[in-house]
Structure 1
Amino acid sequence: MKVNHHALELEQNYLFSEVAKRIRKYQAEHPERELLKLSIGDVTRPLSRIITEEMKTAAEEMSHAETFHGYGAEQGEPFLREAIAAYYHKRGIAVDAEDVFVSDGAKCDLGNLCDLFDADNTVLLPNPVYPVYYDTSIMAGRRVIFADGTKENGFLPMPDHSVHADIIYLCSPNNPTGAVYSKEQLAEWVQYAQENSALILFDAAYEAYIRDPELPHSIFEIAGAANCAIEINSLSKTAGFTGVRCGWTVVPRTLQFDGASLHDMWFRRMATKYNGTSYIIQRAAAKVFTEEGLRAVQQDIDYYMENARILKEALAKAGIHSVGGENAPYVWMQCPENADSWTFFDTLLYQYGIAGTPGVGFGTAGQGWLRFSSFGTRETVTKAAAYLAAL
């Protein structure tokens, strides 16, 4: 038996595992000190009551023969796919429920979509980048090239039309930088994809945090995107589903590559390798998209965005440059005095008990930067902000 040697090309520790390892070491050495955790982007607010009540109702149905549900539809229950399509329609975005595939989260879909593509493809990634894009591409044995985000371009890299790519990953609002592409910028990426007969994999997991009405929430707001893009989204950060697990991917039936329908290929892949998201969870997810559900989750989004505002304000008081935090739940700060990411991570941790995420862990262009998550409690964020303002 031979192993996949491409998997051995990955860094030994996943970024967030290394962060957790260092935090555990710090806590073992300083058990008396409080940890102000602003690193891994897990939510801290509980699920809305109307969502958990819907889960209870659905669970009760499972105990009665006349309302019991076994295996579900391969693409997800029609009631949820229709609710997701309607969510797009409210923004004037044309998405058909038939093109929606329900899953257990964006991370899994972002990795599993690789099953559809030959290894002989060049993947273009923004740098810095969510590690899953890079790791899954390397594990599949694909060539990877980068478009570098910088302070000068606002960490919104644009395509180099002299460079060819086959698969393009974009994330807007971006994780880790919190930067958000404009419609004009996304239109140029769509044009680039069309020029190269390339596919865009668009991660929209943080679109609910966009506050500027001029900024796009979906790649499908851009003309021509339905012929060159797949969109991936999730309720993890929108509705606090990190421990519940529900997401979706939109694969338009108009997508044709190499003489094949990507929609049909994804349907076949899902039917083969995925038994579906729990009926109880899908009922809860559908509740999110009701008027009362959207109002409830907006309260949590507003809470986290206020956290982001507090962090950005503290950094501004200290004269420290930051990106994000205005239309995204992440604040991307430049390390003071040209410190490297891991050195500054250790400084914050050991001097103030603040845990961020080193920017270099997201790629070489993240060296000298640190990411803060606004998903902590208000108490944690306020305490951390007081220290940051005095840096």
Structure 2
Amino acid sequence: MSITQNLTTSISSSSSSFLAPSSFNSRRQNVSLPAKRVGVCKCVATPQEQEVQTAYKTKVSRNANIAKLQAGYLFPEIARRRSAHLLKYPDAKVISLGIGDTTEPIPEVITSAMAKKAHALSTIEGYSGYGAEQGEKPLRSAIASTFYSHLDIEVDDIFVSDGAKCDISRLQMVFGSNVKMAVQDPSYPAYVDSSVIMGQTGPYQKDVEKYGNIEYMRCNPENGFFPDLSAISRPDVIFFCSPNNPTGAAATREQLIQLVQYAQDNGSIIVYDSAYAMYISGDNPRSIYEIPGAKEVAIETSSFSKYAGFTGVRLGWTVVPKQLLYSDGFPVAKDFNRIVCTSFNGSSNISQAGGLACLSPEGLQAMQEVIGFYKENTNIIVDTFESLGFKVYGGKNAPYVWVHFPGRSSWDVFSEILEKTHVVTTPGSGFGPGGEGFVRVSAFGHRENILEACRRFKQLYK
């Protein structure tokens, strides 16, 4: 006897040498504030306390590593709290400066190339199916010549992907469970969470708010947001982001020389996240490969998300040089290639057409204008908090402003700002224990929303 059940479920979910940007260009906005719900978050979270109740259970045990994760992933948790706030204040004009999602339209020189590719797929001559898992050669060549000119990075060292965040998890698959990882503290939470899921860590230690077997490299104003490498034990893999998310700090050449030297001395591998490198306006390195010897110890991952507004288009890349070898002499790139070919069918051919347009002279200029616009937003936010007497970091080389609230809980400050100003920020402790007492304010937003949020900040903290 069989029973047929027709279930219809609707699930909506969605879950970071480079060219320096040109001088800031103001972009006129024809954007007006909606009557309700400005700056919508695109994460949908289910409260963890709501468990699905069923009459039947399988005999499959839950992945014990996933069970070690604490609470929800940071940004869906913020989205959940935002949704609860809107239920409480349904007429509030909420402005979202929390999750680092871009808001300005993709330049037309880029979207026209994607549209042309999309239309070509409707023709016999223009149709294409599966492409190379590593990415189309013209795009890989353009990435090499645009971002790694004179750095001896070859085209086949570059793997095009659907974003740096996705590649972080693929790299963790390469490394496996039998490694020890180090992260900046605070840092982008995907590094730690992917390490936990992979089984690299011990249990979560509530008293210190850390997982066992992870080296948390404290980065704070006192050490210039660069860790004391002499004080850490030898990690196998070091995740390092510059410009940093969330602090906005960009490592100097001297600091990166120290990092590469440390990796060489200890036999470690650096995973260098350069997703915000085009925001650098000074002479700080935009690629780890500007440092001599880095190709023997470093992987670099990056993205078009924050340059061209590709957060929804999804396109990034990872560089794994041939010179990077395991202890037995086997090339890391070969293992990464195997993971890519096993778990990925290559980036969308439409998004890759957009990426190629990004790297044309017109596309690069357009991206620099968008970056300049967001950097003007950071100046407005920084000036606002400094005028209120706060210590403020970041903003100069990244689209994030790191505001210090000494002696206060980050989540308490987040709640205070949301409750009293209807502005969503990000609590610093969500990026690690080193972020306690700080709040991250994103500069991704329409200019009208940035100005309105800053007006509300001044009313709250005047």
Q: Considering the TM-score relative to the shorter chain, is it more than 0.5?
A: yes
Q: Give per-residue Cα distances to partners, 1:254-280, cap 9 Å, x unaligned.
A: 111122111111111111111011111
Q: Give per-residue Cα distances to partners, 1:339-363, cap 9 Å, x unaligned.
A: 2101111111111112100000111
For 2:72, give the aligned amino acid. N
- Does 2:389 match 1:331? no
- Does 2:280 match 1:210? yes
1:257 corresponds to: 326
- Does 2:436 match 1:378? no
1:57 CA displacement:
1.0
CA distance in 1, matches of 2:279, 2:118: 30
Q: Describe how 1:26-175 pairs up with structure 2 within 5 A.
A: 26-90=85-149, 92-142=150-200, 143-160=213-230, 163-175=233-245
1:161 CA displacement:
5.7
Aligned CA-pair RMSD = 1.2
Runs of 4 or more, structure 1, over 4 Å off, are none
- Does 2:345 match 1:268? no
| Percent of aligned pairs with the same amino acid | 40
User: Is the 2:171–2:336 contact (alpha carbons within 8 Å) kept by the matching residues of 1?
Assistant: yes
Q: State which of 387, 395, 412 in structure 2 corresponds to 1:317.
A: 387
User: Is the 1:205–1:233 contact (alpha carbons within 8 Å) kept by the matching residues of 2?
Assistant: yes
Larger mean CA deviation between 30-39 and 221-230 belongs to 30-39
User: Is the 1:88–1:95 contact (alpha carbons within 8 Å) kept by the matching residues of 2?
Assistant: no
Larger mean CA deviation between 156-165 and 192-201 belongs to 156-165
SS where residue 308 of structure 2 aligns? Answer: coil
User: Is the 2:215–2:233 contact (alpha carbons within 8 Å) kept by the matching residues of 1?
Assistant: no
CA distance in 1, matches of 2:427, 2:296: 37
User: Is the 2:215–2:232 contact (alpha carbons within 8 Å) kept by the matching residues of 1?
Assistant: no
For 2:243, give the aligned amino acid. P
Q: Which runs of 5+ in 2 are unaligned?
A: 1-59, 201-212
SS where residue 200 of structure 1 aligns? Answer: strand
1:33 CA displacement:
2.0
Q: Do the aligned partners of residues 89 and 230 (structure 1) sit closer, same or farther apart at CA in structure 2, a change above 3 Å counting?
A: closer
User: Is the 2:217–2:232 contact (alpha carbons within 8 Å) kept by the matching residues of 1?
Assistant: no
CA distance in 2, matches of 1:11, 1:169: 20
1:388 corresponds to: 457
| TM-score, normalization by structure 2 | 0.82
| TM-score, normalization by structure 1 | 0.97
Q: Which runs of 5+ in 1 are unaligned?
A: none
2:364 corresponds to: 294
1:195 CA displacement:
1.1
Q: Do the aligned partners of residues 170 and 293 (structure 1) sit closer, same or farther apart at CA in structure 2, a change above 3 Å counting?
A: same
CA distance in 2, matches of 1:344, 1:118: 38
CA distance in 1, matches of 2:186, 2:232: 21
CA distance in 1, matches of 2:436, 2:241: 19
SS where residue 307 of structure 2 aligns? Answer: coil
Q: Give per-residue Cα distances to partners, 1:13-39, cap 9 Å, x unaligned.
A: 111111111111111111222112110
1:153 CA displacement:
1.6
1:352 corresponds to: 421
For 1:15, give the aligned amino acid. L
SS where residue 298 of structure 1 aligns? Answer: helix
More helix by share: 1
For 1:51, give the aligned amino acid. I
How many residues end up aligned between the 2 structures? 388
For 1:36, give the aligned amino acid. I
Q: Give per-residue Cα distances to partners, 1:118-162, cap 9 Å, x unaligned.
A: 322110111111010000111111121111112212322241266
For 2:448, give the aligned amino acid. E
CA distance in 1, matches of 2:79, 2:116: 37
1:231 corresponds to: 300
Q: Which has the larger radius of gyration?
A: 2
SS where residue 237 of structure 1 aligns? Answer: helix
User: Is the 1:207–1:217 contact (alpha carbons within 8 Å) kept by the matching residues of 2?
Assistant: yes
